[in-house]
């Protein structure tokens, strides 16, 4: 490297990593050789990016964990060759078998509800995590195992919250395969475990919550005032092929498309007319739905009026009204100021929350960038702290 080029590099904004002319990759954490995979390069490197104190708590609201027993169940199902689901095999099958440093970081981070997670939170300036069972959670299992394992996972998470009450809050995992049991687990989660939100990892074996057979879950969530976080799952079998052949089925795009579809199915099925106080949360900047509001309203009305589909009946409000009144969005995986401000603008600043998406997208630099957003102190505090305290019923600290 010439002295001039080195000087130029020293004065440019520092990304997490960048390619050198030699074909090696220079990152804050060190240099990577051409032989290393891209997966090895995209590793967290808090280092100098570690954010300082802020005049608000940083509460990250879509953070994942996985009991080791759950990964053992996944392993058993994969090893037995009983998995007929290319999305699951492509996602958890990959992370559980890959030797890349990124996969190892994710598997280690997912299983830890103690020192490692707390260190990563400290290193990235996150004061508190709202933790949920990672996708696909129990929704991939047979019904009886799913119901009993959801309880195991919730007990483990509740124990961790008891150990670290100022650092962790949690979401209640349920098995939609058995809506009655799921409703009971919501009640147990709220009354016995002290958790105040529910995690559902999108579709359950290709079925959507827009089907009234699942609506006991909504009734319980509304009754107990627990928002439901609708988090992505890998794409169902009958949807994945054109995404997967291009490598676009995962977090890069497919997750958002499928979860956004799921949210819209819930809205257009009339769920919020039946359960008007129900609140849901969607990540990844609302899975792009805030950007779609105008067209959704226009085309939903046009489609209903034309009576084109038996399945699309009139509902009481516009699609955008449900999104503004019954949904919160988090910026998990989208540490991008214009998208955050746009969502605050069209949904309201009380509806947009911070999330990191740990351990999948663990980046201290992203926290520092968001601290520096050109946004009023009042809105920034709502985004990072007070909206989360309200939505997840987290007691403000003295």
How many residues of this chain bind Ca ion (CB under 5 A)? 1
Q: How far is the CB of 231 from Ca ion (least distance, A)?
A: 6
* CB-nearer residue toward Ca ion: 112 or 357: 357
Complex with Ca ion: residue 121 or 293, whichever CB lies closer: 121
The 325-344 contact track toward Ca ion, x by CB under 5 A, reads --------------------
- Which tokens go with 398? 């003295």
Strands 25-27 vs 128-133: parallel, antiparallel or unpaired: unpaired
Partners of residue 64 on adjacent β-strands: 132
Q: Nearest approach, Cβ of 95 to Ca ion (angstroms)?
A: 13
- The residue (of 234 and 268) whose beta carbon lies closer to Ca ion is 234
Of 121-129, 190-198, 200-208, 357-365, which segment contacts Ca ion by CB under 5 A? 357-365
Nearer to Ca ion, 91 or 217 (CB): 91
Q: Is the distance from CB of 231 to CB of 201 less than 8 angstroms?
A: yes
CA atoms of 326 and 4, how far apart (whole Å)? 55
Say how many C-beta atoms besides its own lie within 10 A of residue 163's C-beta: 11
27 touches 41 (CB < 8 A): yes
Beta-bridge partner residues of 18: 26
398 Cβ neighbours under 8 A, 6+ residues apart: none
Three-state SS for 349-384 is HHHEECCCCCCCCCCHHHHHHHHCCCCCHHHHHHHH
Q: What are phi and psi of 241, to 5 degrees?
A: -55, -55
> Burial code of 372-381, b = ≥16 C-beta within 10 A, e = fewer?
ebebeeebbb
- Identify which range of 11-19, 321-329, 354-362, 389-397 contacts Ca ion by CB under 5 A: 354-362
Q: Of the candidates 178, 357, 363, 366, which one interacts with Ca ion according to CB under 5 A?
A: 357
- DSSP designation for 256: H
Considering beta carbons, is residue 216 or 287 the nearer one to Ca ion?
Answer: 287
Cα 85 from Cα 237, distance rounded (Å):
6
As measured in angstroms, the least distance from the Cβ of 398 to Ca ion is: 31
Please say which residue, 156 or 201, places its beta carbon nearer to Ca ion. 201
Radius of gyration (C-alpha) of the chain in whole angstroms: 21
Minimum CB–partner distance for residue 199 and Ca ion (Å): 10
The C-alpha atoms of residue 138 and residue 204 are separated, in whole angstroms, by 9
Of 15-23, 161-169, 318-326, 356-364, which segment contacts Ca ion by CB under 5 A?
356-364
Listed ranges 106-114, 315-323, 353-361, 381-389: which one lies at the site for Ca ion (CB under 5 A) = 353-361
Residue whose CB is less far from Ca ion, 185 or 357: 357
Q: Is residue 123 within the footprint of Ca ion (CB under 5 A)?
A: no
Stretches 2-10, 117-125, 137-145, 349-357: which one binds Ca ion (CB under 5 A)? Answer: 349-357
Structure-block tokens of residue 234: 């890998």
Closest CB to Ca ion among 18 and 94? 94
Q: Cβ of residue 374: shortest distance to Ca ion, in angstroms? A: 27
Torsion of CA 118, 119, 120, 122, to 10 degrees: 90
Residue showing the smallest CB distance to Ca ion in the complex: 357
Q: Closest approach of Cβ 111 to Ca ion, in Å?
A: 16
Minimal distance, residue 170 CB to Ca ion, in Å:
14
Closest distance between Ca ion and the C-beta of residue 397, in Å?
A: 26
Q: How far is CA 357 from the centre of its chain?
A: 6
Nearer to Ca ion, 357 or 363 (CB): 357
List contacts with Ca ion (CB under 5 A): 357
């Amino acid at each position: 490297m010439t002295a001039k080029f080195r000087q130029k590099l020293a004065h440019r904004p520092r990304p997490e990593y960048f390619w050198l002319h030699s074909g090696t990759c220079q990152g804050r954490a060190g240099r990577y050789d051409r032989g290393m995979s891209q997966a090895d390069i995209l590793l967290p490197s808090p280092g100098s990016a570690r954010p300082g104190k802020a005049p608000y708590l940083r509460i990250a609201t879509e953070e994942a964990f996985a009991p080791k027993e759950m990964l053992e169940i996944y392993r058993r199902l994969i090893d037995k060759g009983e998995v007929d689901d290319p999305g699951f095999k492509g996602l958890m099958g990959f992370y559980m078998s890959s030797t890349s440093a990124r996969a190892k970081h994710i598997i280690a981070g997912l299983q830890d509800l103690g020192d490692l997670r707390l260190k990563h939170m400290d290193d990235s300036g996150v004061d508190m995590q709202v933790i949920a069972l990672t996708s696909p959670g129990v929704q991939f299992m047979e019904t009886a195992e799913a119901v009993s394992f959801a309880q195991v996972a919730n007990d483990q998470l509740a124990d961790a919250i008891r150990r670290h009450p100022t650092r962790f809050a949690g979401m209640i995992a349920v098995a939609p395969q058995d809506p009655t049991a799921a409703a009971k687990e919501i009640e147990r989660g709220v009354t016995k475990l002290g958790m105040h939100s529910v995690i559902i990892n999108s579709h359950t074996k290709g079925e959507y919550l827009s089907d009234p057979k699942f609506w006991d879950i909504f009734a319980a969530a509304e009754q107990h005032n627990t928002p439901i976080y609708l988090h992505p799952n890998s794409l169902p079998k009958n949807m994945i092929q054109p995404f997967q052949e291009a490598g676009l089925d995962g977090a890069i795009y497919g997750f958002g498309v499928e979860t956004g579809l799921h949210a819209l199915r819930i809205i257009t099925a009339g769920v919020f007319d039946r359960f008007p106080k129900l609140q849901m949360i969607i990540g990844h900047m609302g899975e792009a739905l805030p950007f779609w509001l105008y067209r959704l309203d226009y085309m939903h009305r046009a489609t209903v009026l034309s009576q084109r589909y038996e399945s699309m009946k009139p509902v009481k409000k516009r699609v955008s009204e449900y999104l503004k009144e019954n949904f919160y969005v988090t910026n998990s995986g989208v540490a991008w100021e214009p998208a955050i401000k746009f969502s605050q603008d069209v949904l309201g600043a009380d509806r947009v929350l911070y999330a990191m998406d740990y351990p999948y997208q663990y980046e201290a630099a992203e926290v520092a960038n968001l601290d520096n957003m050109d946004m009023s102190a009042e809105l920034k505090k709502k985004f990072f702290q007070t909206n989360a305290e309200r939505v997840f019923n987290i007691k403000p600290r003295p």
